[in-house]
Amino acid sequence: MKPYVTLKILDKVGYIEFFNPPHNALTPSLLNDLTSLINSAALENKIHIIILKSGGDRVFCAGASFNQMVEISDEVEGKSFFMGFANVINALRKCPKIIIGSVQGKVVGGGVGLASAVDICFATEFADIKLSELSVGIGPFVIEPAVKRKIGVSAMSQLTLKAQTFFSAKWAMEKGLYANVFESNNELIREVESLALELSTYNIDSLTAFKRIQWEGTDDWDKLLESRAQLSGKMSLSPKAKSYLKKFI
């Protein structure tokens, strides 16, 4: 199957789904499409609640595409590449509608940023998480504000410094990333869709007001994440990062 990002509307719920086989790594093109659809859903009056999910059943998101990252040749290209995740996180943050994350499998790197930037996130017991950036010569700089806001400084440090370790979905739930963890994808889907349908009957203005309150103190993130994208782009040009990325590819 070919990569895609889609938006489907059903019963006042907008289903945004991304897919890029085999591991749902996100390219700049897919990130741009994802940002565009989040912004479109934010303006669509037929949508009251949004569900963010990925296709497939084994990996929610493997983060940024290493195949394209290794091709970065200067700091301008580097910043542009990492702005993809910055733009998605800011779109999720600024969207006036509640966004529910549905995480069916493993989450790596930038995918952890997406799971952290939704308003509430549910997962299966297979949704272990890892921040592998330091192990490939870069760092989780762009997603750090979102992840730290969700799970705290200590847990963020553990994830970042133990860069080759998968932390269990139960650990992620205990730290606050996931609201609940289910044994199967079917149970996950039922819970997410049930909550979305329930919330879609609520006063949308009240939901929007609540979301704004929850995200207070993040008005500087447009500039902050841009500066982090510039830093990540610079790190990706280092000889060590290039060497590590080529080994992974």
Is residue 46 helix, strand or coil? coil
For residue 1, what pLDDT is reported? 83
Confidence class for position 57, pLDDT limits 50, 70, 90: confident
d(CA 104, CA 125) in angstroms, rounded, equals 8
Fold of 4-186: 2-enoyl-CoA Hydratase; Chain A, domain 1 (3.90.226)
Q: Is the pLDDT of residue 229 over 80?
A: yes
pLDDT more than 70, % of the chain: 100
* Short-list 123, 128, 98, 126, CA closest to 187: 123
**Quick one: pLDDT at residue 248?**
74
Q: Residue 75 pLDDT > 90, yes or no?
A: yes
**E-only strand ranges, the chain:** 4-10, 13-19, 49-54, 59-61, 98-103, 106-108, 120-124, 129-130, 180-182
* CA 143 – CA 124 distance, rounded (Å): 22
Average pLDDT, the chain: 97
Residues 190-206 have pLDDT tens digits of 999 999 999 999 999 99
pLDDT of 249 above 80: no
User: What pLDDT sits at residue 244?
Assistant: 87
Report the C-alpha gap between 86 and 91 in whole angstroms: 9
Mean pLDDT within 80-86: 97
pLDDT band for 65, please (50, 70, 90 cuts): very high
Angle formed at CA 62 by CA 58 and CA 67, multiple of 5 degrees: 125
Given this model, what pLDDT does residue 76 score? 97
pLDDT tens readout for residues 139-171:
999 999 999 999 999 999 999 999 999 999 999
Phi and psi based region of residue 147 (left: phi greater than 0; alpha: psi -120 to 50; beta: remaining): alpha
Average pLDDT over residues 53-80: 94
